[in-house]
């Protein structure tokens, strides 16, 4: 079966698997996830059009049959149902802004699976797709090497010189990507029967380069992926390889792998991280510190797993809905979480098992496992099929590494690629090996038949053209992302009107994203348009009521309006502040928001209560919490307590420049407490840190004039 449409489909498939790991856009507000998702979705639209067009042109002869197809479509159907009944259906369909893993991305993966199964029919096509993946990984490795060498041509908010993230944007995602491709390259070198020796050696060398890149990421989960992928390949060889000598050689391979793993654990920084996952401590003081303790990042993951378990208990059937994990974080956040969990609004459950269970429920998890089991069973039943074994190894490596890794679109395609590779080999023609398009229906002459085939081809081209137009609609979302980022930069540069115009463009291009409305609200605040800011923040809060940041901005905007003389803003400010604490009760930042609102609206006792609760929860030594608590204490006529609070904050804030506002309040408290000399000394010390600091100079003038307040 040959056609220009099929060739186009193979080209699109090669482009998709090559570009998704590579593509990022520094001018987007989320440079990696958003850019990759929009490109992936655009290509998926056109791929779907090609598949539909080919089905119209060739009929059932284009399709194949496999239990794996049923499992894949069942998983898609379960997630569609979960989306309908999701806590936030819109979020389920489109995904969170930073991650973009809603139903649309799941459908994207299903399309990728069927593109593999239905388009890759010849060795040449398989070689083209495989070469695209490997060529892309070369660029990924080169960029990771540049980051390690501190030669990154781009500036990011984090450095990749210690743990590179390359074009994937996340160190853990890069490690997962490299682990899967390492297993795939090893399988290709081991089972590629027709490979020339030089090419086989080259593949092995490249596999070692992939493994070296993996080690550079210092990511523990990647080793788990290598172990699971390698173990499955060894098991397949031992049970299914026709050559007895090869089967016996697996024993030596297993021993060599064990020695290599031991060397990694003992001789590399990654091994040190693995061995420190559980810290065994013994204390002679009997103070309860004896016994095993999890390393901090492992403790963070356990916190997210506990949240996922809580979500499953609450909604066991279909979960919260695709990419709705973020909604459960405020609900299941406890008062004793690790620092990274206490104030974050995490969008991932840090592993496919916890993520799927929380977002698709036990039904979704069962459907996912059914896909995996069907793929592995078909692989075993097919016997010695090297391509299927390669796909199974990649699939196992992805599942092993992804068990404790954040879900990302930049690596999610690897799962569907593994499934698709197995599907290519194990699926059967439908209805027979004879193409229905080669036989002419009875009663129709050659001219009629040719005309009918031409009509079907034209219909197919129309379908592809429509999907191309649909793919172009993703430009709106990308334009919105660009505009939001440009608005942020304009606001920070003091170009307030430009920031407002750009933020308005973002909300017009993609009005469903709460982040863009919040960007607009901040731009309005910068332009001193508080009433407009309130409206924008309210829209953001309505779209994402679970996000304390948007409700917090709304409460503060109301408080600012109150300060500017709008007395009617007092009650809405208090109402929103109460609501944000109710939504996220164990987050210190929500209590800080309430403290600020109560301080501004004159309810200082309630402000102090919220500030004290924020201090109890805070593990980050947040300056603003200490600052608000100090101001409230001084406002309550307790300057001595305010002085103590300010000194407490200064003691735990390491950066002297970050201490400046707190030192001003310390001097104010000292002056109000009658300690004028000490207050002036504190101001002198403050000005030594930053000469000309205006608030300090103003306070000194007030102290000297005897009008401190």
Q: Given phi > 0 = left and psi -120 to 50 = alpha, else beta, which region is 86?
A: beta
Q: In terms of pLDDT, which residue wins out, 335 or 196?
A: 335
In percent, how much of the chain has pLDDT > 90? 75
In percent, how much of the chain has pLDDT > 70? 91
Cα–Cα distance for residue pair 159/540, rounded to 1 Å: 31
Read off the pLDDT of residues 253-274 as tens digits, 9 standing for 90 and up.
677 777 777 777 666 666 555 6
CATH no. of 621-709: 1.25.40.10
Tokens 């173990």 identify what position? 231
pLDDT the model gives residue 111: 97
pLDDT the model gives residue 454: 75
pLDDT the model gives residue 701: 92
Read off the pLDDT of residues 622-666 as tens digits, 9 standing for 90 and up.
999 999 999 999 999 999 999 999 999 999 998 999 999 999 999
Q: How many C-beta atoms surround the C-beta of residue 197 within 10 A?
A: 7
Mean pLDDT of 42-49: 96
Cα-Cα-Cα-Cα dihedral sign, residues 69, 70, 75, 78: positive
Mean pLDDT of 109-116: 97
The answer to whether residue 433 scores a pLDDT higher than 50 is no
DSSP letters spanning 92-160? HHH--TTT--SHHHHHHHHHHHHHHHHH--SHHHHHHHHHHHHHHHHHHHHHHHHHHTT--SS--SS--
The answer to whether residue 292 scores a pLDDT higher than 70 is no
pLDDT the model gives residue 447: 62
Cα–Cα distance for residue pair 650/656, rounded to 1 Å: 8
Cα-Cα-Cα-Cα dihedral sign, residues 643, 645, 648, 649: negative
Mean pLDDT of 170-187: 95
Closest to 630 measured CA to CA, from 644, 619, 616, 618:
644
pLDDT the model gives residue 697: 93
Q: Which two tokens stand for residue 677?
A: 């000399």
Give residue 275's pLDDT band: very low, low, confident or very high (50, 70, 90). low
Mean pLDDT of 296-318: 90
pLDDT the model gives residue 539: 97
Mean pLDDT of 400-409: 91
pLDDT the model gives residue 434: 47
pLDDT the model gives residue 250: 72
Cα-based distances in Å from 594 to 333, 569, 637, 685: 18, 15, 20, 32
Q: Which helix (H) or strand (E) holds 64?
A: strand 64-65
Cα–Cα distance for residue pair 134/386, rounded to 1 Å: 18
Q: Which two tokens stand for residue 372?
A: 């995996």
Q: In terms of pLDDT, which residue wins out, 576 or 435?
A: 576
pLDDT the model gives residue 430: 78
Give residue 283's pLDDT band: very low, low, confident or very high (50, 70, 90). very low
Give residue 444's pLDDT band: very low, low, confident or very high (50, 70, 90). low
Cα–Cα distance for residue pair 301/313, rounded to 1 Å: 18
pLDDT the model gives residue 338: 86
Mean pLDDT of 437-465: 68
Mean pLDDT of 187-212: 88
Mean pLDDT of 153-181: 92
The answer to whether residue 285 scores a pLDDT higher than 60 is no
Could you tell me the residue ranges of all domains in the chain?
Answer: 4-155+162-276+293-429, 621-709
Read off the pLDDT of residues 363-390 as tens digits, 9 standing for 90 and up.
999 999 999 999 999 999 999 999 999 9
Question: Is the CB of residue 206 less than 8 Å from the CB of residue 439?
Answer: no
pLDDT the model gives residue 446: 63
Q: In terms of pLDDT, which residue wins out, 401 or 249?
A: 401
Tokens 């004290």 identify what position? 612
Tokens 């229906």 identify what position? 441
The answer to whether residue 438 scores a pLDDT higher than 50 is no
Q: Phi first, then psi: what are they for 281, rounded to 5°? A: -120, 140
Average pLDDT over the chain, rounded to whole? Answer: 89
pLDDT the model gives residue 238: 85
Closest to 124 measured CA to CA, from 203, 7, 17:
7
Give residue 193's pLDDT band: very low, low, confident or very high (50, 70, 90). low
Mean pLDDT of 218-230: 91
The answer to whether residue 621 scores a pLDDT higher than 50 is yes
Q: Given phi > 0 = left and psi -120 to 50 = alpha, else beta, which region is 350?
A: left
The answer to whether residue 280 scores a pLDDT higher than 50 is no
pLDDT the model gives residue 662: 95
**DSSP assignment, residue 568?**
G
Give residue 154's pLDDT band: very low, low, confident or very high (50, 70, 90). very high
Mean pLDDT of 174-198: 89
Rounded to two decimals, the pTM is 0.89
């Amino acid at each position: 079966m040959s056609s220009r449409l099929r060739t186009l489909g193979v080209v699109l498939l090669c482009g998709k698997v090559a570009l998704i790991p590579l593509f990022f856009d520094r001018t987007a507000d989320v440079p990696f996830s958003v850019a990759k998702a929009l490109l992936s979705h655009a290509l998926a639209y056109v791929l779907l059009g090609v598949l539909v067009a080919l089905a119209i042109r060739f009929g059932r002869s284009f399709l194949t049959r496999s239990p794996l197809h049923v499992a894949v479509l069942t998983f898609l159907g379960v997630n569609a149902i979960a989306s309908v009944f999701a806590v936030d259906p819109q979020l389920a369909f489109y995904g969170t802004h930073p991650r973009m893993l809603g139903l649309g991305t799941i459908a994207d993966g299903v399309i990728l699976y069927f593109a593999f199964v239905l388009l890759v029919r010849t060795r040449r096509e398989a070689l083209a797709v495989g070469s695209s993946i490997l060529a892309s990984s070369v660029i990924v490795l080169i960029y990771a090497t540049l980051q390690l060498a501190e030669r990154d041509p781009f500036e990011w908010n984090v450095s990749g010189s210690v743990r590179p993230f390359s074009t994937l944007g996340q160190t853990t995602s890069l490690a997962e990507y490299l682990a899967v491709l390492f297993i795939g390259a090893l399988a290709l070198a081991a089972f590629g029967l027709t490979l020339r020796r030089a090419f086989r050696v080259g593949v092995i060398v490249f596999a070692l380069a992939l493994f070296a890149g993996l080690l550079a990421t210092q990511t523990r989960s990647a080793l788990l992926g290598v172990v699971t992928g390698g173990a499955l390949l060894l098991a397949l060889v031992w049970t299914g390889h026709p050559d007895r000598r090869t089967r016996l050689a697996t024993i030596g391979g297993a021993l060599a792998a064990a020695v290599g793993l031991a060397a990694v654990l003992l001789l590399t920084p990654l091994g040190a991280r693995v061995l420190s996952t559980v810290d065994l401590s013994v204390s002679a003081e009997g103070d309860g510190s004896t016994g095993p303790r999890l390393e901090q990042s492992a403790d963070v993951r356990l916190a997210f797993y506990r949240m996922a378990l809580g979500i499953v208990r609450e909604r066991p059937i279909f979960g919260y809905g695709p990419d709705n994990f973020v909604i459960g974080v405020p609900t299941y956040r406890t008062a004793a979480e690790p620092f990274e969990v206490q104030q974050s609004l995490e969008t991932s459950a840090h592993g496919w098992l916890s993520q799927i269970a929380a977002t698709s429920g036990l039904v979704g998890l069962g459907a996912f496992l059914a896909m995996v089991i069907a793929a592995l069973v078909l692989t075993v039943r097919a016997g010695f099929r090297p391509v299927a074994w390669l796909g199974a190894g990649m699939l196992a490596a992805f599942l092993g590494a992804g068990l404790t890794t954040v879900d990302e679109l930049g690596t999610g395609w690897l799962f569907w690629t593994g499934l698709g590779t197995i599907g290519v080999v194990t699926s059967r023609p439908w209805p027979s090996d004879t193409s229905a398009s080669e036989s002419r229906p009875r009663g129709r002459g050659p001219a009629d038949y040719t005309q009918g085939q031409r009509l079907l081809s034209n219909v197919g081209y129309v379908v592809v053209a429509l999907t191309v137009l649909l793919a172009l609609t993703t430009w709106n979302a990308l334009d919105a992302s660009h505009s939001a980022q440009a608005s942020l930069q304009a606001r920070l540069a003091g170009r307030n009107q430009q920031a407002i115009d750009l933020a308005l463009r973002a909300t017009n291009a993609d009005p469903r994203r709460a982040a863009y409305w919040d960007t607009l609200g901040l731009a309005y605040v910068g332009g001193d348009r508080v009433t407009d800011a309130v409206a924008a923040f309210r829209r953001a809060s309505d779209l994402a009521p679970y996000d304390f940041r948007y409700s917090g901005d709304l409460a503060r905007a109301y408080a600012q309006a109150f300060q500017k003389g709008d007395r009617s803003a007092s009650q809405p400010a208090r109402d929103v502040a109460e609501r944000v604490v109710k939504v996220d009760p164990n987050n210190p930042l929500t209590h800080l928001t309430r403290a600020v609102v109560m301080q501004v609206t004159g309810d200082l006792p309630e402000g102090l209560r919220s500030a004290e609760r924020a201090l109890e929860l805070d593990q980050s030594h947040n300056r603003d919490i200490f600052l608000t608590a100090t101001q409230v204490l001084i406002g309550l006529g307790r300057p001595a307590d305010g002085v103590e609070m300010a000194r407490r904050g200064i003691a735990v804030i390491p950066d002297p420049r970050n201490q400046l506002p707190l030192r001003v309040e310390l001097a104010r408290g000292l002056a109000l407490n009658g300690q004028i000399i000490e207050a002036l000394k504190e101001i002198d010390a403050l000005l030594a840190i930053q000469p000309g600091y205006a608030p300090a100079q103003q306070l000194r003038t007030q102290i000297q004039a005897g009008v401190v307040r």
